[in-house]
Amino acid sequence: MHKIDPNVCVKCGACAGECPVQAIKEAEASYEVGEDCVDCGACESACPTGAISA
Distance CA 10, CA 48 (A): 9
Domain range enclosing 11 = 3-53
Strands, E assignment, the chain: 3-4, 24-26, 31-33, 52-53
Q: Are 15 and 47 in contact (CB under 8 A)?
A: yes
Q: Are 54 and 2 in contact (CB under 8 A)?
A: yes
CATH code for the domain in which residue 36 is found = 3.30.70.20
Entry pTM: 0.88
Number of domains in the chain: 1
- pLDDT confidence of residue 4: 97
pLDDT in tens, 22-39: 999 999 989 999 999 999
- pLDDT confidence of residue 18: 97
- pLDDT confidence of residue 2: 95
